[in-house]
Amino acid sequence: MGAGHHHQIYRAGDTLVHRLPPQCKLAAVAAFALVVVATPREWFWAFGLYALLLAAVAVAARVPALSVLRRMVIEIPFVVFAVALPFIGFGERVSLLGLSLSAEGLWSAWNILAKATLGVVASVLLASTTEPRLMLLGAQRLRLPPLLVQIAMFMLRYLDVIVDEMRRMRVARESRGFTARDVRHIPVVARSAGALFIRSYERGERVHLAMLSRGYSGSMPIIQDLSASARQWLVAGMLPGAALVALLGTWGLAL
Amino acid sequence: MHVPDGFFNVAVSISAGAVAAAGVAVCLRGARRELDDRTAPMAGLVAAFIFAVQMLNFPVAAGTSGHLLGGTLAAILVGPYTAVLCMAVVLLVQGFFFADGGLTALGVNITLMGIVAVVVGWTVFRLITRSTRSRGVVVAASFVAALVSVPAAALAFTLLFWVGGTAPIEVGTVAAAMGGVHVLIGVGEGLITAVTVSTVLAVRPDLVYGARGLAAPLVLRGADGDATVVRQAPAGTPAQRTSARNSAEVEAGAGAGAGARVRAQAGSRRLGWFLPVGIAVAALLAGAVSFYASSSPDGLERVAEDKGFIGHATDHALAGQPLADYGEVGGIPVGVAGLIGVVVTLVVGAALFFAVRRLAGRHASEDEVSA
Amino acid sequence: MTPSLEVSRLAYAYPDGTQALFGVDFEIGRGERVALLGPNGAGKTTLVMHLNGILTAGHGTVTVAGLPVSKGSLREIRRRVGLVFQDPDDQLFMPTVREDVAFGPANLGIGGEELERRVKGALERVGMLETIDRPPHHLSFGQRRRVAVATVLAMEPEILVLDEPSSNLDPASRRELADVLRSLDVTVLMVTHDLPYALELCDRALILSGGTIAADGPTGEILSDAELLAAHRLELPYGFAPPRPGHPS
């Protein structure tokens, strides 16, 4: 959470991954994330395989490593937390590089770092290869409640408009010599927030009127039909499928 | 505060997902009642607004800054059901479109920031404004409600962490660290929420869901001089409030609605719903914890079995912490600690509630005349 | 021939009691282009909202191509009256241009091939076909204006009602829009402060002032009557010579 991450991750392209129907990609990435989180932290091989799988997807989608790395910045607070774990964790201590570290803490740090990183990379790859509106249509096909999808659609459509208005208010404040530095300045910023809410709400009303004027009667009309073939589901399923195979394989080896 | 993948174990992630899904389902129906066929565009715009204001960061203490959560603000402005939907949509979009927050942690994130924050904030708000509903009280209630909602969410996080967190830190430490910072963040959240609500109240009081019925009622004078007071409707039908560019041309009838739909009774009915639910959610999280802890294969159970822990407690950097001790013995004391945490929050909230109520009682008559 | 639009003794008061329209009467024939002029606060936008049933009159009637506006006829009325708002962002609420233009006809139950044909046809008429798959916020303001016009054209309306169509447009966009409006084969009612634009595109002008129609005549005549204009807070822009009576354009 924080400023600046509202820039779209989507990168246009025409690769196999880009062409997969969105519902397949959504389901595949969610399933993959689940397999990753369910993996016991001791099974290093499994994690290595997961990383390779994601690399393969990145190559297939022609997403440059740099753009993925840039979006991983979002992870930093938890990286800091994970790094601190061996120092503040309880339990048996081991000696590593002359430092007394918690064994449990080390394991836990690895656990969080590995799973969080794999999760973020998978999300970034999904967002890089799927247009936002297609993502919403895919979610709808996966039975996400239509009202929720519609709310998300309007939100995405007007996000830039609202954020721009907020930015303009900040410019107006700063042009008059104001910068928020401490708690006393909160009320000024909050007043802009109030004005922004009114503007957003009134815009929502005008949008509703525009919809009424074009015949809207309460439910959104179906404009585009998105269906996936069995073959496309199979292709998308390769990611979580391979991850599952890796998981079970490592389990088999461990036995 | 968006939790990533791997921070919680699978059991908690999935259970929280179920709670989140159920909560959102309930609110889908409730929101339609709040906004009828305007729900999609209105909630979408409000969600965009929340996303935007979450980017506001305010200084909390030396060096640290906090971000606005917005759950209580949304509930006060557009009603609790719509607020939960908006928060859920914001979190879903942040997870899928901006890779902010783990996909498997969506259940946890939505439960904490969408449901707990909104339910706690709205409950506190309604408790305070139940009897007195003047502008001043609404603003004060906004402050207290938002203030309490942040540490409440942090407390819920701590409880979830104790149940299925994958990091070996005593719950007490987590509670202390989270609680401290989040009370400070709560102050900032409270301030921003209160001032924002106050600003909207000054310009468009009909847009504040939590202040319905606040506008001076219209008086109709009959031919023989008798006067009847018309009950105010909440934010009226869209037709009556067309806000055109040339606002001078179209006058938005302040707060009036053509058909006086009396919402006051519905409001208190809704409060009745939220109060037991709010307490139940908190108690469930605290109580269910004990049940879960015993069946949890890793985390505190395993550590508690490790006899070496007690001996090494003194090596621990935070061993001096008053709350660190209760983590020694797994099981009952920790469960009690969880419940104590909930009780503490409620006591703090209640104390503030009574304080504001007393103030409200003093100013009630003056404020209602000037509203 | 049935007039495109008939407004008869229309009166309306806001919920707080302020009366905005005190009996508005006028008729617009098929194929006419009419400008609606008037000072701020005259009630022009309020009047326009009655034309497609968003506001319900307290008194009087609105009839569109013979069909009176009533609760039961709203769906057909909203097909016949294509209302283009002042802020295109309020009107382009779908993720892509294609979906925005398709929204109207899709609500009428049109789908498949026919829908595709209408969408492409409407965009072609405003000269915006190449933007069909782009998100609206990637277009310039003038382009968004034109796409907004396309969104109502796709419903094949009887009358196109535009609220301040030339506001905030740069000169080139203004001209492009004027070309588009001239090329269309629909009745046009244009609410505007832009008097030269009104003169350029509309043969007839109405002045709405104080809640009633204060003037109704050929645009050239109305704009040459300085007293009439002044009485209703209208002025010709600096450097614009009033048209001589008898030479309307």
A60-82 residue pLDDT tens: 888 888 888 888 887 777 778 77
Least confident range from A109-123, B30-44, B109-123, C82-96: namely B30-44
Q: Are B253 and B240 in contact (CB under 8 A)?
A: yes
pLDDT at B321: 38
Decide: A198 and B78 in contact? Cβ < 8 Å.
no
Q: Does B365 touch chain C (CB under 8 A)?
A: no
The residue to which tokens 């190449």 are assigned: C130
| B-contacting chains (≥3 CB pairs under 8 Å) | A, C
Q: Which amino acid is at C197?
A: Y
pLDDT tens digits along B158-197: 888 888 877 777 777 777 777 778 888 898 899 999 999 9
> Six-digit token pair at A120?
């973020």
Taking the C-alpha atoms of residue B21 and residue A188, their distance in angstroms, rounded to an integer, is: 37
Give the mean model confidence (pLDDT) for residues C177-182: 92
Q: How far is CA C135 from CA A148, A157, A204, in A?
A: 21, 9, 19
| Chain B, nearest residue to C210 by Cα | B249
More confident residue, A78 or C126: C126
Chain C touching partners, 3 or more CB pairs below 8 A: A, B
Give the least confident one: A225-239, B239-253, C52-66, C167-181.
B239-253
pLDDT tens column, A157-183: 899 889 989 888 888 888 888 776 666
Round to whole Å and give the CA distance between C60 and C16.
20
Of B104, B238, B315, Cβ closest to residue A119:
B104
As a whole number of angstroms, the distance between CA B354 and CA C233 comes to: 57
Instruction: Measure in Å the smallest separation between the Cα of A81 and chain B Cα atoms.
Output: 10
Torsional class of B213: left (φ above 0), alpha (ψ -120 to 50), beta (otherwise): left
Alpha helices in chain B (DSSP H): 10-35, 39-53, 71-78, 80-98, 106-109, 117-129, 135-164, 171-203, 264-295, 300-305, 308-312, 332-370
What are the tokens at B312? 């090494």
Q: Identify the pLDDT of residue A187.
A: 82
What pLDDT is recorded for position B365? Answer: 42
Q: Could B98 and A36 be called an inter-chain contact, meaning their C-beta atoms sit closer than 8 Å?
A: no
Test B6 with A119 for CB contact under 8 angstroms. Answer: yes
Q: CA B201, CA B175: separation in Å to the nearest integer?
A: 36
Residue B36's pLDDT is 72
What pLDDT score was predicted for residue A14? 83
- Rounded to whole angstroms, the Cα distance separating C249 from C204 reads 11
What angle do the packed helices A186-213 and B39-53 form, to 10 degrees?
A: 160
Q: B237 contacts in C (CB within 8 Å)?
A: none
Section B302-320 average pLDDT: 36
Residue B308: its pLDDT value, please? Answer: 37
In this structure, are residues B165 and B112 in contact, taking their beta carbons and an 8 Å threshold?
no
User: pLDDT tens-digit profile of A77-118?
Assistant: 777 877 877 777 777 777 777 777 777 788 888 888 899 899
Res C183 pLDDT > 70: yes
- What's the pTM? 0.75
Kindly give the pairing relationship between strand C212-218 and strand B57-61: unpaired
Find out whether C29 and C1 touch, Cβ atoms under 8 Å.
yes
Residue at A18: amino acid letter: H
Residue C54, both tokens: 């968003």
Per residue in B89-119, pLDDT (tens digit) is 999 999 898 888 889 999 999 999 999 999 9
pLDDT in tens, A116-141: 899 999 999 999 998 888 888 888 88
Query: Cβ of B99 and A159 within 8 Å?
Result: no
Q: Quote the minimal CA–CA distance from C147 to chain A in Å.
A: 14
Which pLDDT band holds residue C77 (cuts at 50, 70, 90)? very high
Distance separating alpha carbons of residues B28 and B20, to the nearest angstrom: 12
Nearest to B167 among A108, A155, A209 (CB): A108
Instruction: Say which residue, C190 or B297, is predicted with more confidence.
Output: C190
CB < 8 Å to C115, chain A: 223
Distance between CA atoms of residues C232 and A143, nearest Å = 57
DSSP β-ladder status, B57-61 and C67-68: unpaired
Q: What are phi and psi of C15, to 5 degrees?
A: -60, -30
pLDDT band at B254 (very low <50, low <70, confident <90, very high): very low
Determine, for residues C16 and B245 on separate chains, whether the beta-carbon distance falls below 8 Å.
no
Going by their DSSP bridges, the two strands C5-13 and B227-230 should be labelled as unpaired
Alpha-carbon B273 to chain mean position? 15
**Of the partner residues B239, B254, B256, the one whose CB lies closest to the CB of residue C54:** B239
Question: Which ranges of B99-227 does DSSP label H, i.e. alpha helix?
Answer: 106-109, 117-129, 135-164, 171-203
Cross-strand partners of C212: C209
A 79-118 near B (Cβ less than 8 A): 81, 85, 87-93, 100, 102, 104-105, 108, 111-116, 118
* Residue type present at position A151: I
Residue of A251 and B186 predicted with greater confidence: B186
C237 and C44 Cβ atoms separated by less than 8 Å: no
Query: CB under 8 Å, gap of 24 or more: what pairs does B58-66 form?
Result: B58/A180, B58/A183, B58/A186, B58/A189, B58/B188, B58/B192, B59/A180, B59/A181, B59/A182, B59/A183, B60/B181, B60/B184, B60/B185, B60/B187, B60/B188, B61/B184, B64/B181, B64/B184, B66/B181, B66/B184, B66/B185, B66/B188, B66/B189
Contact A85 B167 (CB under 8 A): yes
Q: What count of CB pairs under 8 Å joins B to C?
A: 49
Q: What is the pLDDT of residue B262?
A: 29
Specify the residue for token string 């509903």.
B133
Phi and psi at residue B130, to the nearest 5°: -55, -50
Residue B248's pLDDT is what? 29
Segment A227-239 shows an average pLDDT of: 79
**Element of type H or E holding C153:** helix C141-153
Lowest mean pLDDT among A11-20, B163-172, C137-146: B163-172
- Residue C84's DSSP bridge partners are C162
* C132 burial type by CB count under 10 A (0-12 exposed, 13-18 middle, 19+ buried): middle
* CA-based nearest residue in chain B for residue A37: B6
Q: Does C38 touch chain A (CB under 8 A)?
A: no
With an 8 Å Cβ cutoff, are C16 and B251 in contact? yes
- Nearest by CB to A152, which of B93, B100, B196? B93
| pLDDT value, residue B304 | 37
A188 Cβ neighbours under 8 A, 6+ residues apart = A173, A178, A180
* Amino acid code (one letter) for A219: S
Residue B167: its chain A contacts at CB < 8 A? 81, 85, 89, 105, 108, 112
Q: Which residues of A139-168 are buried (b: 16+ CB within 10 A; e: fewer)?
A: bbbeebeebbbbbbbbbbbbbbbbbebbee
Phi, psi of B220 (to 5 degrees): -105, 130
Q: Is the pLDDT of residue B249 over 50?
A: no
Q: Which residue has the tokens 């468009």?
A: B204
Distance CA A115, CA C86 (A): 50
Which pLDDT does position B62 carry in this prediction? 60
Is the distance from CB of A75 to CB of A124 less than 8 angstroms?
no
What pLDDT band is residue B345 in, cutting at 50, 70 and 90? low
B204/B236 Cα distance (integer angstroms): 12
- Write down the pLDDT at residue B347: 59
Assembly ipTM: 0.87
Is the Cα dihedral B333, B335, B336, B342 positive or negative?
Answer: positive
Indicate the length of chain B as a whole number. Answer: 371
- Say whether residue A31 is in contact with chain B using an 8 A CB cutoff: no
What is the pLDDT confidence band of residue A4, given thresholds at 50, 70 and 90?
Answer: very low
- CA angle, A47 as apex, A45 and A50 as ends, to 5°? 115
Output the DSSP codes for B105-123: THHHHIIIIIIIHHHHHHH
- Is there a contact between A56 and A242 (Cβ–Cβ < 8 Å)? no
Contact by Cβ (8 Å): B99, A127: yes
Q: Please report residues of B whose CB lies closer than 8 A to that of C17.
A: 253
> Chain C residue with minimal CA distance to A204?
C90
A79: closest CA of chain B, how far (Å)? 10
Q: Are A28 and A181 in contact (CB under 8 A)?
A: no
Q: Looking at CA atoms only, how far is residue B204 from chain C in angstroms?
A: 14
Residue ranges of the alpha helices (H) in chain A?
16-19, 22-38, 44-60, 65-71, 76-88, 103-129, 132-141, 146-175, 186-213, 230-254
